[in-house]
């Protein structure tokens, strides 16, 4: 059955009705899930298995039957571990219907159907009694309900309900306990993801400084956690101001509360500086004695750095204090962790929370609009002074004193740069109410409200009256649009350029002048695991899950690239970077398709896990901005990626299976096509021994 879905096309900017399979959302959920990553997490799986064995043994030693409740069973792996460990029966709860159906098949395939009952419900809907889902309460509670923040997937309410209604008092729990840790640091790099810094513009009349509005300075920031691969942040990028502090623990074997709470830890500052950021992670102890521990600690806080387990489903957290505060070495302060049922946040206090009502403060909420419009990478991008200098240099080469400028990008400072560099008049289009309000405040803070005209409408609706009857001589764009997910989605700028063509004077300059799509074949250190088949996990056959993920990918995603911030995922190039397609912004969007076919020679042996794609923009002759590779890729070094942008990764399936033979160096052939009517870029990359090119199926 097909259904019609409305969606905004991020490249063309138009609203479209597209025909989708009724199960399209299910396929997307499975294809983009972390199930493969979890199954490849050897440390997690081994520790859970050890903890389950120990829990079942303790129950058996008391002469009791081992009845297990497994909440969020997924593949059924933990339930199968429990039965193998000697459990008498398991109730495996899974709310996601396709996953529950897969769990039933996996359990049957492994011969455990007589000992495991899969219940396709949310755990809060499970009933206990003669006619219920479970005849009696369980005495072992096994769960994997955690995210990077520990409680973000609703672990606390689920545990609270389970203890009240589904398990016996003082039951065994695996994991038994979780502890959240925090470390206070100063970090200009990470702080730049949360606040707008003064931006310096070098002009012919001296330096101009774009200052943030006061409400941006006062704003506590976005309420959501910033979860990253903290191991990829260099220790040179932050100064440690405190020891690692255990902030709070949750004992899962007892009644758990989802009520809001705060936990404080007094500490002595290790250095003077500015308290800005709290780095946080957690560990789980699988047994009451804490001998079986699984930790998310980054390498500098890990007891055995050499044994560090890579994982993407659990990372580390970066929290921003509401305001930076100066601290002096040796001072005694209190770091306070606050949480409600789903979120954690931090505050720094000079006195004990018992003496300070601020300890019960509410979860931070953005009141300045900037944190709603700009995500963390976008803040970092705007605060990148080198990037600003590149745009300033390019603008100088194309701007004249009589330039009439029109800027089109979401929440961009380009209009301010153009004004300071001497443009006669500057207009900027801000389509959304949020970006309009934000830019209006930024212009006012810099006394530019009468110098830069903001037009709040969609570009295709622009009229001559909006421009005061003037023709545009310089069309500007970074380009950046908040709706863009993949690198080429910012080609929306080309469609805008086409839509406003009638408002451009003859010979008008467009900046960027052109864009190009580039690709390179890479071998990932770890990221390949998220798409790699597992086959066997701790002795259990889970190929059904592999097949399910592959089927979901084959539904569409197997021939699509997906966005990843590759600065967090080390890789090295196996081919030279190659230009695939070019787009001339001086011209209107063409009517005909733009196609390219070719091969990329692999210069060194390795597993060709995928092709990375990115855009480069030619701002002006001799000035280019890359959204991907920043430096030439050396053979033995990790690639250096733009940290403010996500790159696109097209995974090559044959190379994702670690059991497949490595083979000799090959070529990767490609066929890439840009459809100007839909704005879509379709592609296929294929490992080959010959110079054959894959052909694209026309959509």
109 is catalytic: no
Average pLDDT of the residues in 215-243: 94
Average pLDDT of the residues in 86-111: 96
168 sits in the region (left: phi over 0; alpha: psi -120 to 50; else beta) called beta
Residue 189 has which token pair?
A: 């790099």
Average pLDDT of the residues in 555-569: 83
Q: Which residues of 88-119 are buried (b: 16+ CB within 10 A; e: fewer)?
A: ebbbbbbbbebbbebbbbbbeebebeebbbbb
CA–CA gap between residue 633 and residue 635 (Å, rounded): 7
Name residue 208's beta-bridge partners: 201
CA–CA gap between residue 484 and residue 490 (Å, rounded): 6
pTM equals: 0.93
Which of 7, 76, 99, 11 is CA-nearest to residue 493?
Answer: 11
What pLDDT, on a 0 to 100 scale, did the predictor assign at position 576? 94
Does the pLDDT value for residue 366 go beyond 50?
yes
CA–CA gap between residue 287 and residue 277 (Å, rounded): 32
**DSSP class per residue in 294-357:** EE---GGG-S-GGGPPP-SSS-EEEEEEEEEEEE-TT-EEEEEEEE-SS-EEEEEESS-GGG-G
Please give the torsion angle defined by the CA atoms of residues 429, 433, 439 and 444, in that order, rounded to the nearest 10 degrees: 120
Which of 494, 534, 487 is CA-nearest to residue 650?
Answer: 487
| Three-state DSSP class for residue 562 | strand
Average pLDDT of the residues in 264-289: 98
Does the pLDDT value for residue 3 go beyond 50?
no
Residue 685 has which token pair?
A: 């990359």
The CB density around residue 189, as the number of other CB atoms within 10 Å, is 15
CA–CA gap between residue 181 and residue 299 (Å, rounded): 14
CA–CA gap between residue 69 and residue 137 (Å, rounded): 8
20 is catalytic: no
CA–CA gap between residue 195 and residue 214 (Å, rounded): 11
Does the pLDDT value for residue 312 go beyond 70?
yes
Instruction: Give the model's confidence band at 36: pLDDT under 50 very low, under 70 low, under 90 confident, else very high.
Output: confident
Average pLDDT of the residues in 602-626: 95
CA–CA gap between residue 113 and residue 205 (Å, rounded): 79
What pLDDT, on a 0 to 100 scale, did the predictor assign at position 363? 85
Average pLDDT of the residues in 90-106: 95
Give the helix, strand, coil percentages of the chain, each rounded to 5: 25, 35, 40
CA–CA gap between residue 165 and residue 140 (Å, rounded): 13
Instruction: Give the model's confidence band at 697: pLDDT under 50 very low, under 70 low, under 90 confident, else very high.
Output: very low
Tens digit of each residue's pLDDT (9 = 90 or more) over 654-667: 777 776 776 665 89
How much is the mean pLDDT over the chain? 92
Average pLDDT of the residues in 55-71: 98
Marked catalytic residue, from 101, 109, 153, 680: 153
Instruction: Give the model's confidence band at 7: pLDDT under 50 very low, under 70 low, under 90 confident, else very high.
Output: low
**DSSP class per residue in 153-208:** TSHHHHHHHHHHHTEEEEEEEES-EEEEEEEEEE-HHHHTTTSPPPEEEEETTEEE
What pLDDT, on a 0 to 100 scale, did the predictor assign at position 21? 53
What pLDDT, on a 0 to 100 scale, did the predictor assign at position 699? 38
CA–CA gap between residue 172 and residue 55 (Å, rounded): 6
Of 27-41, 73-87, 215-229, 629-643, the range with the lowest mean pLDDT is 27-41
Average pLDDT of the residues in 474-496: 96
Instruction: Give the model's confidence band at 558: pLDDT under 50 very low, under 70 low, under 90 confident, else very high.
Output: low
Tens digit of each residue's pLDDT (9 = 90 or more) over 170-198: 999 999 999 999 999 999 999 999 999 99
């Amino acid at each position: 059955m097909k259904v019609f879905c409305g969606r905004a096309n991020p490249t063309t900017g138009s609203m479209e009705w597209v025909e989708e399979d009724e199960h399209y959302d299910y396929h997307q959920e499975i294809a983009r899930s972390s199930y493969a990553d979890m199954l490849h997490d050897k440390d997690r799986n081994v520790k859970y298995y050890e903890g389950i064995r120990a829990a079942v043994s303790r129950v058996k030693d008391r002469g009791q039957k081992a009845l297990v409740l497994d909440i969020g069973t997924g593949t059924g792996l933990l339930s199968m571990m429990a039965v193998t460990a000697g459990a008498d029966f398991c109730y495996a709860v899974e709310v996601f219907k396709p996953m529950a159906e897969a769990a039933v098949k996996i359990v049957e395939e492994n011969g455990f159907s007589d000992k495991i009952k899969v219940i396709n419900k949310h755990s809060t809907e499970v009933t206990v009694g003669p006619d219920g889902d479970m005849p009696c309460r369980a005495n072992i509670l096994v769960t994997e309900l955690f995210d990077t923040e520990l409680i973000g997937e609703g672990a606390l309410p689920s545990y609270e309900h389970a203890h009240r209604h589904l398990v016996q008092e003082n039951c065994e729990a695996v994991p038994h306990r979780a502890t959240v840790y925090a470390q206070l640091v100063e970090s200009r790099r990470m702080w730049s993801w949360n606040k707008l810094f003064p931006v310096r513009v070098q002009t012919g009349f001296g330096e101009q400084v774009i200052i943030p509005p006061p409400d941006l300075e006062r704003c506590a920031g976005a309420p959501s956690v910033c979860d990253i691969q903290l191991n990829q942040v260099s220790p040179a990028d932050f100064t440690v101001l405190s020891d690692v502090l255990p902030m709070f623990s949750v004992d899962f074997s007892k009644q758990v509360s989802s009520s809001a709470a705060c936990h404080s830890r007094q500490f002595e500052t290790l250095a003077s500086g500015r308290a800005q950021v709290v780095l946080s992670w957690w560990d789980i102890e699988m047994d009451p004695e804490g001998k079986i521990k699984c930790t998310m600690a980054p390498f500098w806080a890990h007891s055995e750095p050499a044994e560090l387990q890579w994982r993407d489903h659990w990372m580390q957290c970066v929290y921003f204090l509401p305001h930076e505060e100066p601290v002096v070495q040796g001072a005694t302060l209190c770091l306070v962790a606050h949480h409600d049922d789903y979120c954690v946040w931090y505050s720094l206090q000079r006195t004990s929370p018992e003496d300070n009502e601020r300890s019960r403060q509410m979860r931070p909420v953005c009141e300045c609009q900037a944190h709603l419009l700009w995500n963390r990478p976008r803040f970092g991008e705007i605060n990148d002074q080198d990037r600003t200098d590149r745009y300033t240099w390019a603008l100088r080469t194309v701007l004249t004193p009589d330039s009439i400028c029109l800027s089109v990008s979401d929440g961009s400072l380009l209009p301010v740069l153009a004004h300071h560099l001497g443009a006669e008049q500057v207009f900027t289009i801000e389509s959304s109410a949020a970006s309009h309000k934000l830019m209006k405040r930024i212009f006012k803070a810099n006394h530019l409200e009468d110098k830069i005209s903001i037009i709040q409408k969609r570009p295709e609706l622009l009229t001559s009256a909006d421009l005061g009857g003037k023709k545009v001589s310089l069309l500007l764009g970074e380009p950046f649009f908040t709706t863009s997910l993949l690198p080429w989605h910012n080609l929306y700028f080309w469609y805008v350029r086409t839509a406003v063509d009638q408002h451009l004077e003859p010979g008008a300059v467009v900046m960027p002048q052109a864009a190009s799509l580039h690709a390179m074949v890479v071998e990932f250190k770890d990221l390949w695991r998220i798409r790699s088949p597992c086959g066997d996990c701790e002795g259990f056959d889970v190929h059904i899950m592999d097949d399910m993920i592959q089927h979901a990918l084959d539904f569409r995603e197997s021939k699509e690239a997906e966005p990843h911030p590759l600065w967090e995922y080390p890789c090295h190039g196996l081919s030279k970077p190659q230009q695939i397609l070019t787009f001339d912004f001086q011209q209107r969007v063409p009517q005909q398709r733009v196609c390219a076919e070719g091969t990329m020679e692999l210069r060194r042996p390795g597993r060709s896990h995928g092709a990375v794609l990115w855009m480069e923009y030619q701002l002006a002759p001799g000035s280019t901005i890359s959204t991907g590779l920043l430096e030439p890729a050396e053979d033995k070094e990790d690639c250096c990626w733009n940290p403010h942008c996500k790159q696109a990764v097209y995974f090559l399936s044959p190379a994702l299976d670690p059991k497949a033979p490595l083979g000799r160096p090959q070529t990767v052939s490609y066929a890439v096509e840009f459809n100007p009517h839909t704005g879509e870029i379709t592609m296929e990359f294929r490992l080959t021994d010959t110079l054959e090119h894959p052909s694209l199926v026309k959509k």
